[in-house]
Amino acid sequence: MRDQILTFIEKNSRVDLGELAVLLGSDEVTVANEISRMEQEQVICGYHTMIDWDKTGAEKVTALIEVRVTPQRGQGFDSIAERIYNYPEVKSVYLISGAYDLMVILEGKTLREVSGFVSDKLSTLDSVLSTATHFILKKYKDHGTIFAKKNKDERMLVTL
Amino acid sequence: MRNPIADKVKDIQPSGIRKFFDIVSEMDDVVSLGVGEPDFDTPWHIRDEGIYSLEKGRTFYTSNSGLRELRVEICKYLKRRCHVEYNPDKETLITVGGSEAIDLAMRVMLNPGDEVLIPQPSFVSYLPCAVLADGVPKIIELKAENEFRLTKEELLEAITDKTKLLVLPFPNNPTGAVMRREDLEAIAEVIIEKDIFVLSDEIYSELTYDVEHVSIASLPGMKERTITMNGFSKAYAMTGWRLGYACGPQEIIHQMTKIHQFAIMCAPTNSQYAAVEALRNGDADVLEMRNAYNGRRRYLMHAFKEMGLPCFEPFGAFYVFPCIKEFGMTSEEFAEKLLAEERVAVVPGSAFGACGEGYLRISYAYSLEDLRIALERLRRFVKRLKAI
C-alpha cells in the first residue's frame, strides 16, 4: 500500500485522494491516514512543483559544483555539508563517490551571482580544497519529467 | 472479363462497423476509448536493442522458425510464467504477430468441413481465418451471467462429430473476461473426452489483475492437444513490431513452420532481437504497466457504478464491457450517438459477434488524464439518456 501510494504521488502529488483510493482499490480515509503517517515519519519530506523556468520571464542560472573537501575528525563530511546546505541559494548537496566529495547544486539569478558565491563563500571555507563549476545550459528532463513538448497520441482512433 | 475474385474470399463479410470507423476517422477533436493497443511506448531498453541490431547490420533473414536465441527465451519464459515446457527447436515458431499464428494453426489443422468452435464476443480474426482454411466456424455465444466465460455445458452443446478445434480467446478482447483454473479444468475434461484440439490465444496473458493467468496447456493431458499462441504486442507494448509466437505439439508446429516458410520466410529480424531483450529484462516494465492498467480498470469500474451503467468486473486485457440494453438502442446506434453528441469514440460490442449486441467495448489503454475527460463526457451523455 505504502509503496503504491508513494509510486503514484512521486509523479503527481496533487492527485485527488478519492481518485487515488479508487485507483489503488482502497478507500479515501485509509489512503489519507497512510499519507499523513508517512508525513509524520518523514518518509514524505515535502511536496514540490516541477517548473520549467525557461518558459517564464524569470532569469535563473543553475550550476553543478564539484567540491573536494577535507573531512573532519569525528564528523566526516557531515559538518562541512551542513555548512554548505544552510545557504538558501544551495538547492541540493550530495556526498559523492569518486574524484570529488560533494556535489552542490546552486541556483542564482545571474552568472555573476553564482560565481560570486563560489569564489567568496564556498572556496573560502577552510575545509574546501577545490571546486569545479559547471553551468547548466538546458534542462531536458528533471525528476523523471521530460520538459520537451508532449508527444501526440499517434495511434489510430479505433482498432479492434 | 472473368471474375478475378475467389468466391470463398468474396463471401467473407467485412467488419460490420467499417462505416462507423470511417465516420470516426474523419472527425476532429474526438476523444477515443476505442483503441486496442497499449498507450505506452515500447520500453526504451527494448527499442534500444532494436536500434542496436540495425547498427550492427543484423538485417538478414533469420531461420524460418525464428532466432534460436529468441525461441530459447520464449520457452524459458513460458516455463517461468505459464508453467508449460516447450522444446525451442521442435515446438516453437516465431510469427508475424499473433495473427499469423492464428491463420497458420487453422490452415494446418483443418480439413474441408471440419468445425471450429469460436466463442464470441471475441477478436474478429478467428472466423475469417477458419473460413479461409476451409473450416466451418461454429459460434458459441458467451453469456453475461457467466461473466463471458466458456462453460462446460456450452462447450458440450456445441461439439459435433465434425468438431476439430476450439479457439480459446482468454483473457478476452473485448469483454476482459478471464478463465480461472477451475473453469479451464472443467472444459479440459470435455476436450480430452471428445478428442478435439485447442488454439489458445493468450496474447493478453500478462494483463490479468488480482488473478493468476492459467495456460490451458499446463493442465494434465492438454499440452499435446493445445497450440498456445502469444506475442509481444500487449505485454511489452510492441504492437508495431509485429511479433508473436506459437508453441505446441511438434507435428503441428512443424507443418505451421512449413507454411510460414513459404508465405512469410521469417519474422522481422530486428523485432526478434528487441524481443530477446524484452524477455530477458522486461519483467519490471510489464509489472509497471500492469499496475497502471489495474488502477485505470478500477477507476473505470468506479465511474460506471456512479453512472449507473451495469458492468461485470473484468480481470483481464484492457477493456471493460458495460451493458447499454436499458437505453433501447443497438450498440452501434449508441456509439454513433455518443460520437455525434459528445465526440467520444467507443467500439460497439456487436463488432465482436452478434452476442456482443447491447454492450460497448471501452478501452483503458489511455492515460488517466484522457480517461477523465472521456468519462466526463460519457457521464453527461448517460445522464441525458436516463432523464428521457
Q: Within this chain, do residues B100 and B246 fall inside the same structural domain, yes or no?
A: yes
In a domain, B119, yes or no: yes
Number of domains in chain B: 2
Q: Within this chain, do residues B229 and B335 fall inside the same structural domain, yes or no?
A: no
Q: Within this chain, do residues B248 and B339 fall inside the same structural domain, yes or no?
A: no
In a domain, B2, yes or no: no
In a domain, B343, yes or no: yes
Query: What pTM did the predictor assign?
Result: 0.92
Q: Within this chain, do residues B114 and B181 fall inside the same structural domain, yes or no?
A: yes
Q: Within this chain, do residues B338 and B276 fall inside the same structural domain, yes or no?
A: no
CATH of the structural domain A53-138, one choice from 2.60.120.380, 3.30.110.40, 3.40.50.2300, 3.30.70.920: 3.30.70.920
Q: Which residue of B has its CA nearest to A18?
A: B299
In a domain, B191, yes or no: yes
In a domain, B50, yes or no: no
- What is the mean predicted confidence (pLDDT) over A87-114? 94
In a domain, B52, yes or no: no
Q: What is the pLDDT of residues A32-48, one digit of tens each?
A: 999 999 999 999 999 98
Which stretches in chain B have pLDDT values below 70?
Answer: 16
The ipTM value here is 0.83
Q: In this structure, what CATH number is given to the domain that contains residue B305? A: 3.90.1150.10
- Chain A residues contacting B via beta carbons under 8 Å: 4, 7-8, 19, 22-25, 153, 155-160
Which residues of chain A have a CB within 8 Å of the CB of B296?
Answer: 23
pLDDT band at A153 (very low <50, low <70, confident <90, very high): confident
Q: What is the DSSP string of A71-135?
A: PBTTTBTHHHHHHHHTSTTEEEEEE-SSS-SEEEEEEESSHHHHHHIIIIIITTSTTEEEEEEEE
For residue B256, what is the DSSP state?
Answer: H
Dmax (CA) of chain A: 69
Q: What is the pLDDT of residues A51-63, one digit of tens each?
A: 888 889 888 999 9
In a domain, B1, yes or no: no
Q: In this structure, what CATH number is given to the domain that contains residue B95? A: 3.40.640.10
Domain boundaries, chain A: 2-40, 53-138
Q: Within this chain, do residues B36 and B62 fall inside the same structural domain, yes or no?
A: no
pLDDT of A79 above 80: yes
Picking from B215, B249, B281, the residue at the C-terminal end of a domain is B281
Lowest mean pLDDT among A25-29, A75-79, B80-84, B369-373: A75-79
CA B42, chain centre distance (Å): 18
Own/partner long-range contacts of B46-53 (Cβ < 8 Å, ≥24 apart): B46/B236, B46/B238, B46/B274, B46/B275, B46/B277, B46/B278, B46/B282, B46/B285, B47/B274, B48/B277, B49/B273, B49/B274, B49/B276, B49/B277, B50/B241, B50/B270, B50/B271, B50/B273, B50/B274, B52/B273, B53/B269, B53/B270, B53/B273, B53/B274
CB pairs under 8 A between A and B: 51
Picking from B227, B250, B281, the residue at the C-terminal end of a domain is B281
Question: How far is the alpha carbon of A157 from chain B, nearest alpha carbon, in Å?
Answer: 6
pLDDT of residue A148: 79
Q: Within this chain, do residues B38 and B94 fall inside the same structural domain, yes or no?
A: no
Question: How far is the alpha carbon of A158 from chain B, nearest alpha carbon, in Å?
Answer: 5
In a domain, B51, yes or no: no
User: Where in the sequence is the domain holding B22, given as residue range(s)?
Assistant: 7-42+284-387
Q: Within this chain, do residues B205 and B291 fall inside the same structural domain, yes or no?
A: no
Q: Within this chain, do residues B258 and B111 fall inside the same structural domain, yes or no?
A: yes
Inter-chain residue contact A23 with B347, CB threshold 8 Å: no
pLDDT of A146 above 90: no
Which residues of chain B have a CB within 8 Å of the CB of A153?
Answer: 39, 370
What percent of chain A has pLDDT above 90? 67
Q: Within this chain, do residues B34 and B89 fall inside the same structural domain, yes or no?
A: no
Q: Three-state SS for B200?
A: strand
pLDDT of residue A73: 81
Q: Which residue of B has its CA nearest to A160?
A: B36
pLDDT of residue B16: 65
Q: Which residue of A has its CA nearest to B240?
A: A155
Which residues of chain A have a CB within 8 Å of the CB of B20?
Answer: 158
Picking from B281, B313, B332, the residue at the C-terminal end of a domain is B281
Inter-chain residue contact B35 with A157, CB threshold 8 Å: yes
